[in-house]
Amino acid sequence: MAKLEESAAVVDTAVFDGPDASGHFGPYGGVFVGETLIAAVEELAQVYEKLSADESFWAEYDSELKHYVGRPSPLYFAERLTDSAGGAKIYLKREDLNHTGAHKVNNTIGQALLAKHMGKTRIIAETGAGQHGVASATVAAKLGLECHVYMGAEDIIRQAPNVYRMKLLGANVISVESGSRTLKDAMNEALRDWATNVDNTYYIIGTVAGPHPYPKIVRDFQCVIGREAREQSLEQIGKAS
Amino acid sequence: MHKLVEQGADIIELGIPFSDPSSDGPVIQRSVERALAKGTTLNQVLELVAQFRETDADTGIVLMGYLNPIEAMGYKIFAQAASSSGVDGVLTVDLPPMEAAELNSVMRANQVDTIFLVAPTTREERVASITEHCSGYLYYVSLKGVTGAALIDFDSVTANINKLRGMTALPIVIGFGIKDAQSAAAMGKLADGVIIGSAVVEKIALLADQVEHDEQQLSDTIKVITEAREALDKLV
């Protein structure tokens, strides 16, 4: 296990195909937001470029993953599921055992550190099922930042336990009544909030979506799952592919 | 639309309904939801322009919306259809200039202007790259926020418009948050034009479920345009 902890969180971006300098992944990606938010995403891209080249930033992130999130998460051979399915060996990477119960926290803890480095005092997030909202509320509480989570009105009804957890963590959960009242509308509403409060607000996006540099940032912070899984595969199975 | 012209509108910005209007406040959001619920398409918007052009060849028509419906139609088909319908300009709020080269060249080839926004958060170094891609007029966003918001900071707008004047010869119009004769006059002192959106759409919403409207109802609906026009004419 010692080896795993040491190798936890250095992102080697050379292994990736993208994004290019303008934030594109081939024909995808890029920056498609209103002009009001351009300065904010450009600032984020600059800050992230600087911090992601800084070993001490990754050491800080690494330490949070180990001591707060509880990583590495186990790689578990699901023996009976494998027998039942009758084909390939099935392994489960137990992200559910992270603090807050999902992989979402790998990303939110990293982005909350970015927010702290940028001097932002207010966190906003969108959430669908509520896991990203819970993970955002948790890291905001940890760092003493104000937190507002946008959630579709339909999702609030469907995912009441997560709404309760977010509120317990001190977050303000805002019901989004527009459009289809689900995740994409929550994201639109978060973008509107960001455009209005852009000076003091950091928007934690929970998935590889949104304008550059978000897809890259989320990708980099979630890489820890694959890196650990590879190490653990080598250790448990003797091969990684 | 003809009534808007009669009451003093020089240019009409016509919205292309899109399901995710992330730069718009609640009034415009509800308007696009109504339009989409009734099945309004980009083709129908273009047909509306063509119909309007049968009796009005002069009033500027600018289509305003998001990139997605245009991308879905295809840039070339859209540009040709826009041009032949009589559209003068297109403003896509979520298409920043650095992503706009392809759409721009197709629109220009079809003699349609491409209008871009400058926001209070836009850094000075960026303005040149915006004005380089922009034609027709430059749209200054009066506040940090979404359409229909209410907190215009007059001093900051004044300072920014003065700076922009030194950086471009394009006409500058101001929009977002202009809702009555008073705000129109205040912004009109600084700009070549003012844009009133949510304040009109809010009134139009009241007529949404009616099939027929009489002249009086139409005049009441766009009263804000009439009053803004009068206030602006007094400035000259």
A50-92: per-residue pLDDT in tens?
999 999 999 999 999 999 999 999 999 999 999 999 999 999 9
Chain A residues within 8 A of B118 when measuring between CB atoms: 35
CB contact under 8 A, B22 and A38: no
Decide: helix, strand or coil at residue A120.
coil
**pLDDT tens digits, one per residue of B203-226:** 999 988 887 888 888 888 999 999
CA distance, residue A121 to nearest chain B CA (Å): 18
Cα separation, A17 vs A27, whole angstroms: 13
ipTM for this model = 0.91
Beta bridge partners of A172: A148
The CA distances from residue B30 to A33, B17, B142, B202, B205, in Å, are 20, 10, 22, 9, 9
- Mean pLDDT across chain B: 94
A209 touches chain B (CB under 8 A): no
Give the position of tokens 């844009």.
B195
Give the pLDDT confidence score for residue A13 in this predicted structure: 61
Give the pLDDT confidence score for residue B30 in this predicted structure: 93
A153 touches chain B (CB under 8 A): no
Tell me: pLDDT of A8 over 70.
no
Report, as an integer, the average pLDDT of B165-174: 96
For residue B171, say if its preceding peptide bond is cis, omega within 30 degrees of 0: no
Chain B residues within 8 A of A192 when measuring between CB atoms: 22-25, 145-146
Chain B residues within 8 A of A188 when measuring between CB atoms: 20-22
Decide: helix, strand or coil at residue B111.
coil
Angle formed at CA A49 by CA A44 and CA A54, multiple of 5 degrees:
125
**pLDDT tens digits, one per residue of A226-237:** 999 999 999 999
CB contact under 8 A, B95 and A32: yes
What six digits make up the tokens of A240?
Answer: 């990684």
Give the pLDDT confidence score for residue A5 in this predicted structure: 44
Give the pLDDT confidence score for residue B214 in this predicted structure: 85
Residue B4 one-letter amino acid: L
Per the CB < 8 A criterion, the answer to whether A241 and A21 are in contact is no
Chain A residues within 8 A of B93 when measuring between CB atoms: 34-35
Cα separation, A183 vs A91, whole angstroms: 30
Give the position of tokens 């509520």.
A130
Report, as an integer, the average pLDDT of A193-210: 94
Nearest to A35 among B21, B141, B145 (CB): B141
Kindly tell me the number of DSSP H helices and DSSP E strands found in chain A: 10, 8
Which residues of B belong to the active site?
Answer: 13, 24
For residue A74, say if its preceding peptide bond is cis, omega within 30 degrees of 0: no
Nearest to A184 among B20, B67, B117 (CB): B20
What six digits make up the tokens of B118?
Answer: 């400058």
CA distance, residue A227 to nearest chain B CA (Å): 34
A92 versus B144: the higher-pLDDT residue is A92
Per the CB < 8 A criterion, the answer to whether B122 and B140 are in contact is no
Decide: helix, strand or coil at residue B175.
strand
Mutate to test the interface with A, among B34, B114, B117, B121 (most CBs of A within 10 A): B121
What six digits make up the tokens of B107?
Answer: 């629109």
Give the pLDDT confidence score for residue B86 in this predicted structure: 98
Cα separation, A189 vs A179, whole angstroms: 10
Report, as an integer, the average pLDDT of B65-83: 97
Mutate to test the interface with B, among A20, A22, A28, A32 (most CBs of B within 10 A): A32
B218 versus A7: the higher-pLDDT residue is B218
A39 touches chain B (CB under 8 A): yes
Give the pLDDT confidence score for residue A2 in this predicted structure: 39
**pLDDT tens digits, one per residue of B104-116:** 999 999 999 999 9
CB contact under 8 A, B22 and A34: yes
Tell me: pLDDT of B151 over 90.
no
Tell me: pLDDT of A1 over 60.
no
Give the pLDDT confidence score for residue B90 in this predicted structure: 98
Give the pLDDT confidence score for residue A11 in this predicted structure: 61
